[in-house]
């Protein structure tokens, strides 16, 4: 699930990313990987909640679309089930999740 909170000047948006527990029942670690962190697998680690979901917030520049995916345990990729849209990845036969801000 994605949540968005725009700044008063409209130049940035805090985007909340949430991967539900059922999407990663065996997760020991979940990282958010995308355009906004140069697809760095270690840059944005999510925190687990009491319900077992994984969440984190990233501040993004508005007026753009950002591709992203979740990396579970450093080996399995998962898309956001509630992304704004999906776009084919240039690296293989998979789609990336997209958030529009």
Strand partners, 71: 31, 77
| pLDDT the model gives residue 65 | 96
Domain that holds residue 40: 2-100
Burial (CB count within 10 angstroms: exposed 0-12, middle 13-18, buried 19+), residue 28: exposed
| pLDDT the model gives residue 66 | 96
CATH number for the domain that contains residue 45: 2.60.40.10
> Beta strands 2-6 and 47-48: pairing type?
unpaired
Unique residue bearing structure tokens 């998962």: 78
Unique residue bearing structure tokens 């520049």: 61
Tokens of 22: 């059922």
Give CA torsion, residues 9, 60, 5, 45, to 10 deg. Answer: -150
Domain total in the chain: 1
Which pTM does this prediction carry?
0.92
| pLDDT the model gives residue 30 | 98
Tens digit of each residue's pLDDT, the chain (101 residues): 799 999 999 999 999 999 999 999 999 999 999 999 999 999 999 999 999 999 999 999 999 999 999 999 999 999 998 999 999 987 777 889 999 99
């Amino acid at each position: 699930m994605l949540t968005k909170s725009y700044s008063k000047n409209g130049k940035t948006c805090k985007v909340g990313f949430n991967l539900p527990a059922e999407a990663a029942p065996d997760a020991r670690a979940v990282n958010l990987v995308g355009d906004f962190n140069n697809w760095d697998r270690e840059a944005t680690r999510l925190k687990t909640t009491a319900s077992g979901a994984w969440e984190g917030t990233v501040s993004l520049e508005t007026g753009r679309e950002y591709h992203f995916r979740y990396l579970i345990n450093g080996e399995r990729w998962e898309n956001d089930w509630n992304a704004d849209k999906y776009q084919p990845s240039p690296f293989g036969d998979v789609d990336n999740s997209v958030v529009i801000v």
